[in-house]
Structure 1
Amino acid sequence: MTLFLILGVVFLGVALMVILGEKFGKPLEQKDQQKYSKIIMILVFVALFAALIKALL
């Protein structure tokens, strides 16, 4: 029962983010998108490297 409650809350949260994102969100400019892409690539690399170190220790 608890699992269904958690899944329901997660589903409602995601649905709320999608609805509000479509209503109030604006498209990214090309420069902003490139900037965020570079930052996300670095963060993903750091997260994978940290997970690898954690798994080895």
Structure 2
Amino acid sequence: MNLLIILAILGIALLVIIPILEKHGRSYTPEETRKLSKWILPMVALLLVLQILVYYFG
């Protein structure tokens, strides 16, 4: 029952937040997008390594 309540709250929140973000959100230029995408994969790799270390040694 708790799971259904949590899922319902998340669904309602998404239905409210996404339109607000689309209306008031900032659009990025292709250059800004390129700069950000350059950092995504190394950051994901770093987080993966850190999570493995925490799992085995934490």
Matched, 1:10 2:3: no
Note if 1:47 corresponds to 2:47: yes
* Post-superposition offset of 1:42: 2.3
Could you tell me how far 1:51 is from its partner in structure 2? 2.1
Report the RMSD for the aligned CA atoms in angstroms. Answer: 1.7
How many aligned residue pairs are there?
Answer: 57
TM-score normalized by the length of structure 2: 0.72
Structure 2 unaligned blocks of 5 or more: none
For the residue of structure 2 that corresponds to 1:28, the secondary structure is coil
User: TM-score normalized by structure 1?
Assistant: 0.73
Percent identity, aligned pairs only, is 23
In structure 1, runs of 5+ residues without a counterpart are none
Distance of 1:39 and 1:12 partners within structure 2: 32
